């Protein structure tokens, strides 16, 4: 049996594959807006396992699979034996004999690794505590629409520098050769080992203003992720100096834009003025989850031009 390609972190793709996938996503977006029917996954089924709730992830995968001609099946822990103690491996063995793709949105990244190791079909990380690669595909597509090639660009991530979004942005910077400046309290920097692994493209600052200096794009995320609710008050006090507001945007390069993976808490990590302002790309970014994930599912299923690059680059 051929080992399937999984997408558990951004660096599961080569540079050539990521570049081609983003260009393919842009083409699928054009086709969708033109009303062109493209259904290479007719007869295929995507199983979607949600241990964490979602708006954009569920809708974009379900709609995307439908637009590609396939079917998406929603599964929560209440709907499966996972919620009653069946092992991850047993669930993976059973599901992957019935479906063609699996997307999982979960907490521990180790659960994804265990599931993928036992699966006969490609597994997609819809979000884990360590990585959020599908969001990065959408973010990079949005940046590509603005700039084209990202090589040599400067992007600043402001907030929790150790969370899944920051980690995925670090991988993106290595793959696409741009400078990432992360502004975060020192207690929320990733390990020294991880920083060293990405030192060629990612740089850390304990000042939001220093990180934002000269950046063409400012990116942030919520200060308190799902599962961290008990830390909310302490996190708010720590991250208050790292709010993205008009003053911080003024520290960035002229014409700098703003992105946020959503949901956003106005008045916390970002002001309403920035989120709703003319330099905000968040709504394009949210839509691009759909188009980027369609390109990803097409690729992992062995269809479309990107599939021809499998293993190259």
Active site residue 132: yes
115-118 contacts at long range (C-beta below 8 A, 24 or more positions apart): 115/88, 115/89, 115/91, 116/6, 116/8, 116/92, 117/89, 117/92, 118/88, 118/89, 118/90, 118/92, 118/93
The CB density around residue 222, as the number of other CB atoms within 10 Å, is 23
Whole-number Å distance between alpha carbons of 254 and 251: 9
Instruction: Kindly name the residue from 221, 235, 243, 291 that is annotated as catalytic.
Output: 221
Active site residue 289: yes
Instruction: Kindly name the residue from 9, 167, 181, 289 that is annotated as catalytic.
Output: 289
Instruction: Kindly name the residue from 5, 24, 105, 131 that is annotated as catalytic.
Output: 105
Whole-number Å distance between alpha carbons of 26 and 165: 22
Instruction: Kindly name the residue from 9, 144, 261, 293 that is annotated as catalytic.
Output: 261
Q: Which of these, 52, 105, 37, 70, lies nearest to 300 by C-alpha position?
A: 70
Active site residue 105: yes
Active site residue 24: no
Chain centre distance of CA 122: 17
Q: What share of the chain is helix, strand, coil (3-state, %, to 5)?
A: 50, 15, 35
Instruction: For residue 306, give the DSSP letter.
Output: G
Could you tell me if residue 108 is left (phi over 0), alpha (psi between -120 and 50 degrees) or otherwise beta?
beta
Instruction: Kindly name the residue from 132, 154, 203, 235 that is annotated as catalytic.
Output: 132
* 90, two tokens: 């047993």
Q: Which of these, 70, 16, 83, lies nearest to 38 by C-alpha position?
A: 70
Active site residues: 105, 132, 135, 221, 261, 289
């Amino acid at each position: 049996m051929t080992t399937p390609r999984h997408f558990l972190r951004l660096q599961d793709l080569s540079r050539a594959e990521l570049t081609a996938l983003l260009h393919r996503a842009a083409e699928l977006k054009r086709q969708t807006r033109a009303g062109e029917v493209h259904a290479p996954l007719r007869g295929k089924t995507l199983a979607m396992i949600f241990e964490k709730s979602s708006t954009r992830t569920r809708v974009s995968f379900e709609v995307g699979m439908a637009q590609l001609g396939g079917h998406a099946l929603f599964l929560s822990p209440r709907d499966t034996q996972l919620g009653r103690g069946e092992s991850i491996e047993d669930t993976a063995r059973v599901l992957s004999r019935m479906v063609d793709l699996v997307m999982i949105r979960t907490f521990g990244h180790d659960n994804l690794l265990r599931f993928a190791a036992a699966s006969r079909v490609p597994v997609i990380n819809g979000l884990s505590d360590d990585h959020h690669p599908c969001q990065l595909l959408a973010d990079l597509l949005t940046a590509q629409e603005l700039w084209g090639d990202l090589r040599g660009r400067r992007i600043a991530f402001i907030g929790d520098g150790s969370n899944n979004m920051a980690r995925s942005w670090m991988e993106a910077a290595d793959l696409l050769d741009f400078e990432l400046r992360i502004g975060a309290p020192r207690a929320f920097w990733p390990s020294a080992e991880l920083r060293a692994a990405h030192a060629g493209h990612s740089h850390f600052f304990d000042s939001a203003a220093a990180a934002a200096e000269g950046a063409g794009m400012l990116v942030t995320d919520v200060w308190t992720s799902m599962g961290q609710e008990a830390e909310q008050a302490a996190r708010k006090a720590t991250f208050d100096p790292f709010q993205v507001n008009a003053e911080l945007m003024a520290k960035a390069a002229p014409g700098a834009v703003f992105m946020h993976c959503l949901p956003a808490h106005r008045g916390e990590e970002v002001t309403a003025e920035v989120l709703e302002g003319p330099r905000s790309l968040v709504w394009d970014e949210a839509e691009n989850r759909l188009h980027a994930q369609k390109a990803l599912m097409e690729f992992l299923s062995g269809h479309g031009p990107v599939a021809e690059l499998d293993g190259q680059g």
